[in-house]
Amino acid sequence: MSRVVVRAVAASWPAPVVVEVADFGADPTGRADSAPAVTAALRHARTLDRPVRIVFSTGTYQLYPEQAETRELYVSNTVGADERYRDKRIGLLVEDMRDVTIDGRGAKLVYHGLQTAFAVIRSTNVTFQGFSFDYAAPKVIDAMVVAAGVTDGHAYRILTIPAGSPYRVNGTHITWLGETSPVTGQPYWSGVDGLEYTQIHDPAAQRTWRGDNPLFTGVASVTDLGNRQIRIDYTSATAPADAGLVYQMRLIEREEPGAFIWESKNVTMRSMNAHYLQTFGIVGQFSEDITIDEVNFAPDPRSGRTTASFADFVQMSGIKGTVTITRSVFDGPHDDPINIHGTYLEVIGRPGPDTLTLAYRHPQTAGFPQFYPGDEVELVDKLTMAPLAGDPLVVTAVDGPSGMDHTKPLTSMTVTFDRPLPSGVEVGGTVAENITYTPSVVISDNVFRNVPTRGVLVTTRKPVLITGNRFEAMSMSSIYISSDAYQWYESGPVADVTIRENSFTRPAGPVIFIEPTNRLIDQAKPVHHNISVQQNTFDIDDVPVVDAKSVGGLDFTANTVRRRDGASHPAYTSPLFVFHGSADIRVAGNRYDKGLNTTVAQDPHEAVGRSES
C-alpha cells in the first residue's frame, strides 16, 4: 500500500520559484480555455524539485474538462466502486510535490462540465489562496417562483432560472441540458423536470429544508416566456402558496469530489471564495493536518443562485493530525457543511488466526486503502459499539485496493495484524476502525446558514473544540455526534468534545444530538465520553437543547437558553434535555428565559440528569 510520497530534500530550501500560468498561455480575459496552460504550468512546477509558487494574474480563467488532468481515483462518500465514474478530471492537480503555493492573486476560475476543482495527491505543504472559483453550469437547478395564482380556472407558476442553467421546453416537460461541450457538441449532463432530489429555500426567512417538489405535478402546459422565465399551468384550480420560494433540484450521483486531498500532509485553503462545488464537496482522505481558513462557501450574489454545493461542503474521511476550520462562511449546501469521521469496515472473513477480511458496507465508499502497515486498529462489537477486549492491533500487511486502479476487488481487503485476534470477533458482527487516522478538530468563528441538514458532524476520539460559531436556522440538529456501524459506517466514538461560546438561533432540534447506533445500550458502558457544553446561547422554539444517547460524562453549564414568548406562540411541549442510557450528567448554572419546560424525559431505559439553574 502507498503512503504519502515526499521527495528527499536538502535541510534548507531556497526561495520559491515563481511559475506564472500566463507564461504557459493562460488567458485572463476569459475568452479562451486556460485548462491546457494551467495543466502545463503545474506539470512544469512538478519537475523543479524545489519550493514553487504557481501564480495567476488578476482576471477570469475558463477551465474546460477535456484537457484537464485525468486520474483513476476512488473517493469516500461518492460513487463507491461504480466503474462508470472511476476516472476523475481535475482542474488544478498537485501530485507528488512539496512546498507548493497556488496563489490566485484575486483571479476567478470558472470551471465547465463535471470536474474536480483541485486535488492534492501524495504531497506535503500545499496552500491554495487568493482566488474565487465557480462553475459555469452547476448540476443543480435553482428555480424561483416569482409569481403564482389562478387564471381561467387553472393554477399557474412563473419560474425564473439563473444564467448557466440551459433548458428546453418540450410539451409538458422541461429538459435541463447542463452545458454543451465545445468538443463533443453534447451536454455534459441532462435531466427532466424535477430531477431526483429537491430542497426548498426561503430567501426571506433565510431557511432551507428538504421537501416534496410540487412544480411538475398535474402539469397542463409549460411555456418558455423568454428572458429565462418559464410559465407552468396546472390542471388544478388551487392557487399555489409558494411565491418567493426557490426549488433547488438535482440528480443524486456524486461523480466527482468538488476538491480532493489524499495521502498528503499540511494542506491549507485560505482567503478564497468557493461559490460552488460540483457533484460533491471538499474531501480529505487519509491525509494529515488540513486547514481551512477564511473561505467563503456561498453562491456568488451576482449569479442569482442560492446553492453553493451539490452535497456537503467539507467531508474529512480518515484524517490524522489536526483538522482546523476557522473564520469561514458555510451558506447553501445540499448536505452537511462539515462532516469529520473515520470508516468502519465489517468483518466478512477470518482466513487466519491473525488475519481478517474486511469490507466496505456503504455503497458510496470503496476502492481506496483503509489501513497501512504500522497503523493501529480497534475492533468493535456492532451491537454494543464497545471495543473488544485488549489493546489495539497493529497492521503488518494489507492486500486490497490501491485507490487508483481496479486490479483488485474494490470493496474488500485482507489485513494481517501483529498478534492473534482477540476473542469475540464475529463475521457480520464486528467492525474495524483505523484509529491512527483520527484527528484533533478545531472549528471556530464560522457562520452556518441556509443549511437543510446538520451544521457539524464529528466523530473522532481526539480532542474536539467547537467555539465561537454562529448556527442560523439549521433544519436538523446543529451539532450531531453519531458513530455508525449500521447505515453510513462513519466511525467512531468521541472522548473529549468542548462546545463553547457558540450561538444557535432558530434551530430545528434537538440542537445538540448525540446518537450512536448501538442496538444494546448499557449505561455502565457508554459509547461516547466527556462532552462539555459551556457558555453558549440557544434561541429556540419547541425543541430540545440536548438529546444524548449512550454518553458517559456530559456537562451543560453556564449556557443561556431563550424560548420565544409563550404568549404569542403555542405552548412548548418538548423537554429541554433528553438522556438515553447515559450517566454522569451535570446540568447546572444556566440561565433560562420564557415559557420553559425543563422536564427531563424519562422511560425505563433512560438515565436522567439533574436540571439546575
Q: What is the pLDDT of residues 147-158, one digit of tens each?
A: 999 999 999 999
Collect contacts of 146-151 with beta carbons under 8 A, ≥24 apart. 146/229, 146/243, 146/244, 147/243, 148/239, 148/240, 148/241, 148/242, 148/243, 149/239, 149/240, 150/237, 150/238, 150/239
Residues 558 and 458 in one domain: yes
Residues 559 and 467 in one domain: yes
Residues 318 and 280 in one domain: yes
Domain count, the chain: 4
Asked if 340 contacts 458 with a C-beta cutoff of 8 angstroms, the reply is: yes
Residues 474 and 449 in one domain: yes
pLDDT of the residue at 134: 98
Q: Average pLDDT, stretch 463-482?
A: 98
Please determine, for residue 600, whether its predicted confidence score (pLDDT) is greater than 60.
no
Residues 56 and 68 in one domain: yes
How sure is the predictor about 428, in pLDDT bands with cuts at 50, 70 and 90? very high
Rounded Cα gap, residues 236 and 289, in angstroms:
56
Asked if 78 contacts 255 with a C-beta cutoff of 8 angstroms, the reply is: yes
Q: How does the average pLDDT of the chain come out, rounded?
A: 94
Rounded Cα gap, residues 336 and 426, in angstroms:
33
Residues 424 and 530 in one domain: no
Residues 460 and 578 in one domain: yes
How sure is the predictor about 223, in pLDDT bands with cuts at 50, 70 and 90? very high
Q: Is 142 left (phi over 0), alpha (psi -120 to 50) or beta?
A: beta
Q: Which of 489, 368, 490, 365 is nearest to 79 (CA)?
A: 365
Work out whether strand 191-192 and strand 173-176 pair parallel, antiparallel, or are unpaired: antiparallel
Asked if 309 contacts 270 with a C-beta cutoff of 8 angstroms, the reply is: no
Written in H, E and C, the secondary structure of 375-392 is CEEEEEECCCCCECCCCC
Residues 421 and 507 in one domain: no
What is the pTM assigned to this prediction?
A: 0.94
Please determine, for residue 247, whether its predicted confidence score (pLDDT) is greater than 60.
yes
DSSP annotation of 180: B
> Is there a domain that residue 608 lies in?
no
189 phi, psi to nearest 5 deg = -160, 165
- The cell numbers describing 7, all together, are 521527495
85 phi, psi to nearest 5 deg = -120, 20
> Is there a domain that residue 11 lies in?
no
Residues 145 and 68 in one domain: no
Work out whether strand 52-55 and strand 98-111 pair parallel, antiparallel, or are unpaired: parallel
Sign of CA dihedral 562, 568, 569, 570: positive
How sure is the predictor about 593, in pLDDT bands with cuts at 50, 70 and 90? confident
Residue that is last in its domain, among 335, 357, 372? 335
**Cα dihedral value 133, 134, 136, 140, nearest 10:** 160
Asked if 453 contacts 486 with a C-beta cutoff of 8 angstroms, the reply is: no
Range of the domain at 391: 343-434
